[in-house]
Amino acid sequence: MKANYFFKSALLAAILLIGGNAWGQEVYASVDFTTKSVSHANYTDTWDYAGWSIYGAANNNAGWAYVRVGGKSTASVKTSSFTSPIINAEISSITLTAINTASGSSFTMDNITLKVASDANFTTIVDEVSNVAVATAMTFVPTSGTSWAANSYYKLEFNWSSTTTSNRGMDVEKVELFAATTSSVATPEFSLSSGTYTEAQNVEITCATEGATIYYTTNGDDPTATSTEYSGAIPVSTTTTLKAIAIKGGESSNIASATYTILTIQQATIEDFLAASESEDVYYELTGRMSNITNTTYGNFDLTDATGTVYVYGLTATMQISNDKSFASLGLAEGDVITIRGTRASYSGTAQVGGPAYFVSKTILPVLTTPVANEATSITPNSFVANWAAVDNATSYELNVWTEESVEFGVANSSFENGLENWVAEDAYSLSTDNAHTGTQSLYFSASKTKDLRQTINNVTPGETITVSYWYYLDPTMTGNGLRLWCTWEGSDDTSLQVQEYSNVKGAWTEATISTTVPAGATALNLEIRVYNNSNGYLDDITVTQTNTSTIQVQTPITGSPFTVTETSKAITGLTAETTYHYSVVAKAESYTDSEASNIIDVTTSKGSGTGLCHPATLEGVSFDGQVIRNAAGLELSVYTVSGVCVKTAAGDIDMSAMPHGIYLVRSANAVLKITK
């Protein structure tokens, strides 16, 4: 459906108007940003949308079904504007419809003024309306009289305040201009409002004026007495603009107009969908199994059928112009088989389902019986056989094998005593021994533009309180804003750890700390500290704590896990002697819902013997003091986790102070020493 300077029905106008407008008034002209017919991302220039001149607003390159007035600006006060083309009719009122008056904090829409001029340059202002309270629905009427003259120009000026450089503003959906009613013949009314429909429709037209004859067009032209006379319901099977006029005794009504977008629905396999061309006019009906749900607010996930897999970028409960965050209300979960409809879209060249897609139905599949895992057999120092009972109708089994170790929760290498190990730091950061809060090292930063320091904290628990703290020292002579937290969550869009206030105390070590509740769906915290331009100083002692959590059990899948198995046993090889492993099984079949995971079986590999497999109580010349592996013999040593990952290799002493707590295996050429940190 195109966004144009267009006419609408009286019924729709009456519904949209907020006070002061009587039944029968017409939307003579409008600019409707929900159609996303023009793309624009710059907030500081002028661009055209359906004949209107837009300044100081953008729609994220048509990513939003609105334009944001404000956006990213460092100015404390700014004026944006929407300017109409010449309007040939007398206008009695103008309405503005918005989603919100402020999309974020540190932004205020101070006022919106309507200016009416007799010329395109607005050198002659004939009226100015500035006393309308800022709201999501606003109506502007003449300061004197009942209408503005025909052939006038209209400008809405937005005056706003902002103290942030973030993307904040007022989100405007449309502006509508209502014609003054002068005809005694009532405007025709349609039985169906303008909109998008997934099947053909029948539209009836009526007129409240007795004896009036209705004429209509379906090609977008304005109807006259020579147009088709209305005699019954009009079938609409393709996208159509319907216009109607009523005539009685030589007097004509205002023109009613409605646009009906009829979408094409095609049933397709995912393979066919991926091969199709991009289009916003064709909706594909796809059926598949959900997996990898990456966003539970907007509904982002993978959909798989027998022919392939595609990423669904947003799913809503019903058809929507933009995502209404209704995914959670559907109660869907990974493994569900669903039918959806969406458009063929792409992101960075990769195909995805867009629209956003909307939900059609969920297929209720029978659930496979939960398998029973049996004790392992054929246990050796480096292998065992996993066993389980068969499940009726299962065609395969998913076998998960893992090790577990207890590690401390929180930030690794929080004081930078091990350099930048465990951290991802941009080029503004470097190690320093000049000024440490504790220990011998800190992290120095000097930023000419925004620079990030990051680390991911796994195993967060929804509902628990998490606290982030860091110590900072800012150069007393620096001129920048300083630094602040800007964290995100895996599995949640919560922004409670994107701190608006800067840490900017200068000349002394200062602690910044914030606590919040771990949001529902979150699985990890992406810890991020941002340093801003013209800021320099030091960071140290960065910590993350969680209530009721001091250590966590970390499960590490062995190489190759999970295994897909069609039998009821599997030999697991390449293991470490005297190490405890765990396994469980899930039953699978194409026309069934996966079973629950089976019971967990624990199995410990046996004690080794021979070169490289013996496990003496001591290793000649090697000892561990809790922090450092002392290698008086000068042996070539390698340190492994219980899952077989080599983490250290040296011919001398090995410092283990920065390693997580747990069990490690120290190997020489002919022996293995087990240590606990």
* For residues 286-291, average pLDDT: 94
Highest mean pLDDT among 53-67, 80-94, 170-184, 434-448: 434-448
Query: How confident is residue 18, by pLDDT bands cut at 50, 70 and 90?
Result: very low
Please count the CA atoms within 13 angstroms of the CA of 54 that sit on its side-chain side: 25
Q: What is the pLDDT of residue 163?
A: 65
Q: What is the pLDDT of residue 73?
A: 58
Secondary element (H or E) of residue 444: strand 442-447
Tell me the Cα Rg of the chain.
34
Share of the chain above pLDDT 90, in %: 55
Given a cut of 60, whether residue 622 has pLDDT beyond it is yes
* Distance of alpha carbon 491 from alpha carbon 502, whole angstroms: 26
Secondary structure, 3-state, 181-249: CCCCCCCCEECCCCEEECCCEEECEECCCCCCEEEEECECCCCCCCCEECCCCEEECCCEEEEEEEEEC
Average pLDDT over the chain, rounded to an integer: 87
What count of other Cβ atoms lies within 10 Å of the Cβ of residue 151? 12
Query: How confident is residue 294, by pLDDT bands cut at 50, 70 and 90?
Result: very high
Q: What is the pLDDT of residue 669?
A: 67
* For residues 75-87, average pLDDT: 81
By DSSP bridging, strand 168-179 and strand 67-71 are: antiparallel
Given a cut of 80, whether residue 576 has pLDDT beyond it is yes
* Distance of alpha carbon 409 from alpha carbon 209, whole angstroms: 76
* For residues 35-42, average pLDDT: 88
Sign (positive/negative) of CA torsion 31, 33, 36, 40? positive
What count of other Cβ atoms lies within 10 Å of the Cβ of residue 259? 21
Residue with the larger pLDDT of the pair 49 and 554:
49
Tokens linked to 389: 């009972």
3-state secondary structure of 251: strand
* Distance of alpha carbon 553 from alpha carbon 40, whole angstroms: 49
* For residues 243-262, average pLDDT: 88
Name the one residue in this structure whose structure tokens are 């390159």: 61
Given a cut of 60, whether residue 611 has pLDDT beyond it is no
Given a cut of 90, whether residue 621 has pLDDT beyond it is no
* Distance of alpha carbon 355 from alpha carbon 273, whole angstroms: 14
Q: What is the pLDDT of residue 553?
A: 80
3-state secondary structure of 534: coil
* Distance of alpha carbon 402 from alpha carbon 408, whole angstroms: 19
Residue with the larger pLDDT of the pair 677 and 115:
115
* For residues 154-182, average pLDDT: 85
**Which residues are paired to 385 by β-bridges?**
377, 571
Residues with Cβ within 8 Å of residue 466, at least 6 apart in sequence = 460, 515, 516, 517, 518, 525, 544, 545, 546, 547
Residue with the larger pLDDT of the pair 423 and 365:
423
Q: What is the pLDDT of residue 102?
A: 84
Q: What is the pLDDT of residue 89?
A: 82
Residues with Cβ within 8 Å of residue 609, at least 6 apart in sequence = 381
Residue with the larger pLDDT of the pair 384 and 263:
384
DSSP secondary structure letter of residue 325: S
* For residues 360-367, average pLDDT: 91
* Distance of alpha carbon 659 from alpha carbon 589, whole angstroms: 42
Q: What is the pLDDT of residue 554?
A: 80
Please count the CA atoms within 13 angstroms of the CA of 279 that sit on its side-chain side: 13
pTM for the model stands at 0.44
Query: How confident is residue 642, by pLDDT bands cut at 50, 70 and 90?
Result: confident
* Distance of alpha carbon 91 from alpha carbon 151, whole angstroms: 10
Given a cut of 60, whether residue 232 has pLDDT beyond it is yes
Share of the chain above pLDDT 70, in %: 92
Query: How confident is residue 470, by pLDDT bands cut at 50, 70 and 90?
Result: very high
Query: How confident is residue 164, by pLDDT bands cut at 50, 70 and 90?
Result: low
Given a cut of 60, whether residue 265 has pLDDT beyond it is yes
* Distance of alpha carbon 457 from alpha carbon 424, whole angstroms: 13
* For residues 331-339, average pLDDT: 92
Q: What is the pLDDT of residue 157?
A: 94
Q: What is the pLDDT of residue 285?
A: 95
Given a cut of 80, whether residue 291 has pLDDT beyond it is yes
Q: What is the pLDDT of residue 83?
A: 96
Angle, vertex CA 552, rays to CA 550 and CA 555, nearest 5: 170
> pLDDT tens across 491-548, in order?
888 888 988 889 999 999 999 999 999 999 999 999 999 999 999 999 999 999 999 8
> pLDDT tens across 414-438, in order?
999 999 999 999 999 999 999 999 9
CA neighbor of 50 nearest in space, from 83, 26, 94: 83
* Distance of alpha carbon 398 from alpha carbon 400, whole angstroms: 6
DSSP secondary structure letter of residue 328: G
Tokens linked to 244: 């109607």
* Distance of alpha carbon 403 from alpha carbon 553, whole angstroms: 10
Secondary element (H or E) of residue 271: helix 270-275
Residues with Cβ within 8 Å of residue 16, at least 6 apart in sequence = 27, 95, 97, 176
